[in-house]
Amino acid sequence: MTDKPLVAITGASSGIGEATARAFSAAGHPVLLMARRINRMEAMSLPRSMCRQVDVRDREQISRSVAEAEAEFGPVDMMFANAGIARLADIGRQPPEEWDEMIDINTKGVMNTVHAVMNSMMERKTGTLVMMSSIAGRKVYPDHTVYCGTKFFVHAVSESLREYLADYGVRVLVVSPGVIETEVLTGVLDEETKAAYKQNKVKIGGGIGADIVGDLILNAYQLPQNALVQEICLTPTRQKY
Protein backbone atom coordinates (compact mmCIF):
# COMPACT_ATOMS: atom_id res chain seq x y z
CA MET A 1 0.00 0.00 0.00
CA THR A 2 1.43 3.39 -0.97
CA ASP A 3 0.98 6.74 0.80
CA LYS A 4 -1.38 7.92 -1.93
CA PRO A 5 -4.15 5.65 -3.20
CA LEU A 6 -4.43 3.92 -6.54
CA VAL A 7 -6.01 5.68 -9.51
CA ALA A 8 -7.32 3.67 -12.48
CA ILE A 9 -7.94 5.07 -15.96
CA THR A 10 -9.43 3.53 -19.08
CA GLY A 11 -8.55 4.96 -22.49
CA ALA A 12 -5.20 5.88 -20.94
CA SER A 13 -3.08 5.59 -24.09
CA SER A 14 -3.76 9.10 -25.45
CA GLY A 15 -5.62 12.38 -25.04
CA ILE A 16 -7.37 13.19 -21.78
CA GLY A 17 -6.73 9.72 -20.39
CA GLU A 18 -2.99 10.04 -20.90
CA ALA A 19 -2.95 13.60 -19.57
CA THR A 20 -4.86 12.57 -16.46
CA ALA A 21 -2.53 9.64 -15.86
CA ARG A 22 0.47 11.95 -16.07
CA ALA A 23 -1.13 14.49 -13.70
CA PHE A 24 -1.96 11.90 -11.03
CA SER A 25 1.40 10.17 -11.38
CA ALA A 26 3.20 13.51 -10.93
CA ALA A 27 1.09 14.05 -7.81
CA GLY A 28 2.45 10.80 -6.36
CA HIS A 29 -0.34 8.33 -7.10
CA PRO A 30 0.20 4.82 -8.39
CA VAL A 31 -1.76 4.44 -11.61
CA LEU A 32 -3.43 1.59 -13.44
CA LEU A 33 -3.46 2.37 -17.16
CA MET A 34 -5.93 0.47 -19.32
CA ALA A 35 -6.40 0.73 -23.08
CA ARG A 36 -6.10 -1.32 -26.23
CA ARG A 37 -2.74 0.19 -27.24
CA ILE A 38 -0.46 -1.13 -24.52
CA ASN A 39 2.73 0.04 -26.23
CA ARG A 40 1.58 3.66 -25.95
CA MET A 41 0.99 3.29 -22.22
CA GLU A 42 4.26 1.50 -21.55
CA ALA A 43 6.13 4.23 -23.46
CA MET A 44 4.92 6.75 -20.86
CA SER A 45 7.18 5.00 -18.31
CA LEU A 46 5.29 6.36 -15.34
CA PRO A 47 6.61 5.36 -11.91
CA ARG A 48 4.47 2.95 -9.87
CA SER A 49 2.28 2.24 -12.85
CA MET A 50 0.70 -0.91 -14.20
CA CYS A 51 -0.32 -1.13 -17.87
CA ARG A 52 -2.95 -3.56 -19.08
CA GLN A 53 -4.33 -4.15 -22.55
CA VAL A 54 -8.08 -3.79 -22.09
CA ASP A 55 -11.11 -3.50 -24.33
CA VAL A 56 -13.81 -1.97 -22.13
CA ARG A 57 -16.43 -4.08 -23.88
CA ASP A 58 -14.90 -7.02 -22.00
CA ARG A 59 -16.08 -6.77 -18.38
CA GLU A 60 -13.75 -9.52 -17.21
CA GLN A 61 -10.65 -7.83 -18.64
CA ILE A 62 -11.34 -4.71 -16.60
CA SER A 63 -12.10 -6.61 -13.40
CA ARG A 64 -8.98 -8.75 -13.75
CA SER A 65 -6.78 -5.70 -14.36
CA VAL A 66 -8.23 -3.91 -11.33
CA ALA A 67 -7.63 -6.97 -9.14
CA GLU A 68 -4.00 -7.23 -10.27
CA ALA A 69 -3.33 -3.54 -9.59
CA GLU A 70 -5.09 -3.61 -6.23
CA ALA A 71 -2.98 -6.60 -5.15
CA GLU A 72 0.11 -4.42 -5.60
CA PHE A 73 -1.07 -0.90 -4.75
CA GLY A 74 -4.21 -1.25 -2.62
CA PRO A 75 -7.82 -0.34 -3.45
CA VAL A 76 -8.74 1.88 -6.40
CA ASP A 77 -9.74 5.23 -4.90
CA MET A 78 -10.55 6.87 -8.23
CA MET A 79 -11.75 5.25 -11.43
CA PHE A 80 -11.81 7.37 -14.57
CA ALA A 81 -14.21 5.79 -17.08
CA ASN A 82 -12.62 7.63 -19.96
CA ALA A 83 -12.50 5.19 -22.88
CA GLY A 84 -14.75 6.17 -25.76
CA ILE A 85 -15.03 6.51 -29.50
CA ALA A 86 -16.58 9.12 -31.79
CA ARG A 87 -17.85 7.74 -35.08
CA LEU A 88 -19.43 11.00 -36.22
CA ALA A 89 -21.45 11.01 -39.45
CA ASP A 90 -24.74 12.03 -41.05
CA ILE A 91 -27.18 9.56 -39.49
CA GLY A 92 -28.85 8.97 -42.86
CA ARG A 93 -25.71 7.53 -44.40
CA GLN A 94 -23.92 6.15 -41.35
CA PRO A 95 -23.42 2.37 -41.28
CA PRO A 96 -25.30 0.82 -38.33
CA GLU A 97 -22.10 -0.99 -37.36
CA GLU A 98 -20.73 2.39 -36.28
CA TRP A 99 -23.76 2.85 -34.01
CA ASP A 100 -23.06 -0.54 -32.46
CA GLU A 101 -19.43 0.33 -31.76
CA MET A 102 -20.26 3.64 -30.06
CA ILE A 103 -23.06 2.14 -27.99
CA ASP A 104 -20.93 -0.80 -26.87
CA ILE A 105 -17.85 1.25 -25.95
CA ASN A 106 -19.39 4.52 -24.76
CA THR A 107 -22.26 3.07 -22.74
CA LYS A 108 -21.68 -0.60 -21.94
CA GLY A 109 -17.95 0.08 -21.54
CA VAL A 110 -18.66 2.80 -18.98
CA MET A 111 -20.91 0.46 -16.99
CA ASN A 112 -18.33 -2.33 -17.13
CA THR A 113 -15.74 0.10 -15.78
CA VAL A 114 -17.95 1.28 -12.92
CA HIS A 115 -18.86 -2.30 -12.07
CA ALA A 116 -15.21 -3.19 -11.44
CA VAL A 117 -14.86 -0.82 -8.48
CA MET A 118 -18.26 0.36 -7.24
CA ASN A 119 -19.01 -2.34 -4.67
CA SER A 120 -15.56 -1.98 -3.10
CA MET A 121 -16.01 1.78 -2.83
CA MET A 122 -19.41 1.30 -1.21
CA GLU A 123 -17.93 -1.14 1.31
CA ARG A 124 -15.11 1.26 2.16
CA LYS A 125 -17.48 4.25 2.08
CA THR A 126 -15.08 6.30 0.03
CA GLY A 127 -13.95 6.70 -3.57
CA THR A 128 -14.49 8.77 -6.69
CA LEU A 129 -15.96 7.82 -10.05
CA VAL A 130 -15.03 10.14 -12.91
CA MET A 131 -17.28 9.71 -15.92
CA MET A 132 -16.21 10.91 -19.37
CA SER A 133 -19.05 12.59 -21.16
CA SER A 134 -18.92 15.54 -23.55
CA ILE A 135 -20.63 18.83 -24.21
CA ALA A 136 -22.43 16.57 -26.71
CA GLY A 137 -24.04 15.00 -23.66
CA ARG A 138 -25.67 18.34 -22.85
CA LYS A 139 -26.78 19.46 -26.32
CA VAL A 140 -27.07 17.92 -29.78
CA TYR A 141 -24.96 18.62 -32.85
CA PRO A 142 -25.25 17.82 -36.56
CA ASP A 143 -23.68 14.48 -37.48
CA HIS A 144 -23.48 13.49 -33.78
CA THR A 145 -26.81 11.65 -33.41
CA VAL A 146 -25.74 8.34 -31.87
CA TYR A 147 -22.64 9.83 -30.26
CA CYS A 148 -24.84 12.40 -28.49
CA GLY A 149 -27.12 9.57 -27.41
CA THR A 150 -24.24 7.72 -25.78
CA LYS A 151 -23.07 10.83 -23.95
CA PHE A 152 -26.58 11.73 -22.78
CA PHE A 153 -26.59 8.18 -21.40
CA VAL A 154 -23.44 8.92 -19.41
CA HIS A 155 -25.05 12.02 -17.94
CA ALA A 156 -28.22 10.17 -16.96
CA VAL A 157 -26.40 7.23 -15.43
CA SER A 158 -24.04 9.55 -13.57
CA GLU A 159 -26.90 11.53 -12.05
CA SER A 160 -28.51 8.30 -10.88
CA LEU A 161 -25.25 6.90 -9.52
CA ARG A 162 -24.50 10.16 -7.71
CA GLU A 163 -27.80 9.97 -5.86
CA TYR A 164 -27.41 6.27 -5.15
CA LEU A 165 -23.82 6.51 -3.89
CA ALA A 166 -24.22 9.69 -1.84
CA ASP A 167 -25.14 7.73 1.29
CA TYR A 168 -21.91 5.76 0.91
CA GLY A 169 -19.70 8.85 0.64
CA VAL A 170 -18.69 7.98 -2.93
CA ARG A 171 -18.35 10.90 -5.36
CA VAL A 172 -19.45 10.94 -9.01
CA LEU A 173 -17.90 13.59 -11.25
CA VAL A 174 -18.86 14.06 -14.91
CA VAL A 175 -16.34 15.55 -17.35
CA SER A 176 -18.00 17.32 -20.32
CA PRO A 177 -15.38 18.86 -22.61
CA GLY A 178 -15.90 20.77 -25.81
CA VAL A 179 -13.17 20.84 -28.46
CA ILE A 180 -9.96 19.42 -26.95
CA GLU A 181 -6.66 18.64 -28.64
CA THR A 182 -6.98 14.85 -28.73
CA GLU A 183 -7.09 12.06 -31.30
CA VAL A 184 -10.90 12.19 -31.51
CA LEU A 185 -10.86 12.76 -35.27
CA THR A 186 -9.14 9.43 -35.85
CA GLY A 187 -12.46 7.83 -34.97
CA VAL A 188 -14.38 9.83 -37.58
CA LEU A 189 -14.51 7.76 -40.77
CA ASP A 190 -16.94 9.99 -42.67
CA GLU A 191 -14.78 12.43 -44.65
CA GLU A 192 -17.45 15.12 -45.00
CA THR A 193 -18.09 15.19 -41.27
CA LYS A 194 -14.37 15.18 -40.53
CA ALA A 195 -13.80 18.16 -42.83
CA ALA A 196 -16.61 20.14 -41.17
CA TYR A 197 -15.22 19.38 -37.70
CA LYS A 198 -11.74 20.51 -38.73
CA GLN A 199 -13.15 23.70 -40.27
CA ASN A 200 -15.00 24.57 -37.07
CA LYS A 201 -11.91 23.82 -34.99
CA VAL A 202 -9.84 26.26 -37.05
CA LYS A 203 -12.62 28.85 -36.79
CA ILE A 204 -12.49 28.84 -32.99
CA GLY A 205 -8.71 28.95 -32.87
CA GLY A 206 -8.11 25.29 -32.03
CA GLY A 207 -8.91 23.13 -29.05
CA ILE A 208 -7.78 23.18 -25.45
CA GLY A 209 -4.83 21.08 -24.36
CA ALA A 210 -5.72 17.75 -22.76
CA ASP A 211 -3.35 18.57 -19.91
CA ILE A 212 -5.72 21.33 -18.77
CA VAL A 213 -8.51 18.77 -18.40
CA GLY A 214 -6.21 16.35 -16.56
CA ASP A 215 -5.19 19.05 -14.10
CA LEU A 216 -8.83 20.02 -13.47
CA ILE A 217 -9.72 16.40 -12.69
CA LEU A 218 -6.80 16.20 -10.27
CA ASN A 219 -7.83 19.46 -8.59
CA ALA A 220 -11.42 18.26 -8.19
CA TYR A 221 -10.25 14.92 -6.81
CA GLN A 222 -7.99 16.60 -4.25
CA LEU A 223 -10.91 18.34 -2.57
CA PRO A 224 -11.98 16.80 0.74
CA GLN A 225 -14.10 13.67 0.24
CA ASN A 226 -17.18 15.51 1.48
CA ALA A 227 -16.83 18.13 -1.30
CA LEU A 228 -17.85 17.24 -4.85
CA VAL A 229 -17.46 19.03 -8.16
CA GLN A 230 -20.41 17.39 -9.88
CA GLU A 231 -19.43 18.36 -13.42
CA ILE A 232 -16.53 19.91 -15.28
CA CYS A 233 -17.75 21.52 -18.51
CA LEU A 234 -14.81 23.06 -20.33
CA THR A 235 -14.66 24.58 -23.82
CA PRO A 236 -12.41 26.94 -25.74
CA THR A 237 -13.46 30.52 -25.05
CA ARG A 238 -14.37 30.99 -28.71
CA GLN A 239 -16.52 27.85 -28.90
CA LYS A 240 -20.07 29.21 -29.11
CA TYR A 241 -22.01 25.95 -29.08
Q: Which of 147, 164, 221, 241 is catalytic?
A: 147
Question: Annotated catalytic, 141?
Answer: no
pLDDT confidence of residue 1: 44
Amino acid at 184: V
Q: Which domain holds residue 149?
A: 6-226
pLDDT score at 182: 86
- As a whole number of angstroms, the distance between CA 153 and CA 146 comes to 11
187 part of a folded domain: yes
Number of domains in the chain: 1
Q: What is the pLDDT along the chain (241 residues), one digit of tens a residue?
A: 448 999 999 999 999 999 999 999 999 999 999 999 999 999 999 999 999 999 999 999 999 999 999 999 999 999 999 999 999 999 999 999 999 999 999 999 999 999 999 999 999 999 999 999 999 999 999 899 999 999 999 999 999 999 999 999 999 999 999 999 987 778 888 888 888 888 889 999 999 999 999 999 999 999 999 999 999 999 999 999 8
In-domain check, residue 236: no
Cα–Cα dist 214/20, whole Å: 4
pLDDT number for residue 186: 82
The 3-state DSSP class for residue 81 equals strand
Q: Are 131 and 175 in contact (CB under 8 A)?
A: yes
In a domain, 239, yes or no: no
Residue 182, in any domain of the structure: yes
pLDDT for res 232: 97
Element counts in the chain: helices (H) and strands (E): 9, 9
Residues 192-222: tens digit of each pLDDT? 888 888 888 999 999 999 999 999 999 999 9
pTM strictly above 0.85: yes
Is 114 within the bounds of a domain? Answer: yes
Assess if residue 232 is contained within a domain.
no
Q: For residues 221, 226, 230 and 231, what is the CA-based torsion angle, rounded to 10 degrees?
A: -20
CATH at 201: 3.40.50.720
Does some domain include residue 235? no
Task: Give a yes or no: residue 125 inside a domain.
Answer: yes
